[in-house]
Amino acid sequence: MTASAESAVRAVLFDMDGTLVDTERYWGEAMFELAGSLGGSMSPEARTATVGTSMRRAIQILHADLGVVRSEEQLQADARRVEDRAGELMETAGIRWRPGARELLEAVRDAGLATALVTTTPRRLAAIVLASIAADLGGEPFDVTVCGDEVPARKPDPRPYLQAATALGVDIDACVVVEDSLVGVTAGLAAGMAVLGVPALQPVPAAPGLTLRETLVGAGLPELDAALAARPGAHAVH
């Protein structure tokens, strides 16, 4: 298939947790369990601050919230525990789509646009989600996947999205990022791409190049085109 000649969008780069699939709750559950094992309770504010961040940063936020001091070795062990527990929950409780996400992904693929999954989640856990998505859709929907342990820097650094665009062979001016977190939105905007934001667990303030929606329900190619057109310096397609 080839991309529609009427659209300037050539690639859509999707975040995973909280954007495409409802897996952020598993990360939250795993971190709340870790907090309990450390003798405390993670505050809602701290949990919100961890959304979309690297696991190392999330654990640092949790430790600070609890007021505990952990060695580097203990921090790494805590991070591994959270990852293992989140993966266990993904496998046993299942993977559910975020509202409207499946329909948007299918519309993008049907239009022949290039697709990438760009996630801070490490490959070993992202593989669980990717397998579930592929089984549900009857095939792998992403041309490129970039995971958190495959990049020189994680979101909010722009490099994960730039890496994906390079792998797709698509100019950043023709890419739309779909994200739910402030960290992810920041990464997409820093990469110079248009961003369609669907905040879930944390507020995301308005910014140049960012189009905000409450949900992906009803979002399709026209909404992606509008998001691209809202990018600073974008030119209308005639």
Task: Compute the C-alpha angle 90/94/95, nearest 5°.
Answer: 85
Report the run of H or E that residue 11 belongs to, with start and end.
Answer: strand 11-14
pLDDT of 136:
96
Average pLDDT for the chain? 94
pLDDT of 185:
98
User: Is 235 within a domain?
Assistant: no
Choosing from 93, 117, 134, the residue where a domain stops is 93
pLDDT of 236:
45
For residues 29 and 35, give the distance between their C-alpha atoms in angstroms, rounded to a whole number: 10
pLDDT of 2:
46
pLDDT of 238:
33
CATH number of residue 87's parent domain: 1.10.150.240
Q: Do 221 and 188 touch, CB atoms closer than 8 A?
A: no
pLDDT of 234:
76
Judgement on whether residues 188 and 138 belong to the same structural domain of the protein: yes
Q: Do 222 and 108 touch, CB atoms closer than 8 A?
A: no
Catalytic residues: 15
- List, for the chain, all residue ranges whose pLDDT scores fall below the cut of 70: 1-6, 235-238
Q: pTM for this one?
A: 0.92
pLDDT of 87:
96
Sheet holding 194-197: strands in order across?
144-146, 114-118, 11-14, 175-179, 194-197, 210-212
Report the run of H or E that residue 14 belongs to, with start and end.
Answer: strand 11-14
Judgement on whether residues 46 and 31 belong to the same structural domain of the protein: yes
pLDDT of 6:
67
User: Is 182 within a domain?
Assistant: yes
For residues 77 and 80, give the distance between their C-alpha atoms in angstroms, rounded to a whole number: 5
